[in-house]
Amino acid sequence: MYDKIVQILGISEEDTQAQDLIETLIDLCSDEAKSFTHEKDTSKLEELIIAMVLERYNTLDYAGISSTSYSGVSQSFRDGYSEQVKALIRAKRHLKLV
């Protein structure tokens, strides 16, 4: 999973800071995906985890801002994941019976 993400993002071998960040995001997103889906086996969630990591990585510099208007000085903020990632979560989710 790590190699796929690094390849997609085009992170060089010398960029150890970005590599460390990817490893941290994989850990965080894996835990989050397991919690959302009630699936313990992360190999079954690889597509979802990759999508979550890519989305988080690509929005880090923007601190959750989805749009900005300069003339009226207004900003809109992201709330959670994109509809594409939410659809993957719903597709992988197992209902937990209590």
pTM of this prediction?
Answer: 0.76
Other residues' Cβ atoms within 10 Å of the Cβ of residue 18: 15
Tell the residue number behind the tokens 């990632």, with chain if given.
Answer: 85
Segments making up each domain of the chain, as ranges? 2-92
C-alpha to C-alpha distance for 79 and 98, rounded to whole angstroms: 29
pLDDT (tens place) for every residue of the chain, 98 residues total: 999 999 999 999 999 999 999 999 999 999 999 998 999 999 999 999 999 999 989 887 655 555 555 666 654 555 678 888 888 888 888 776 66
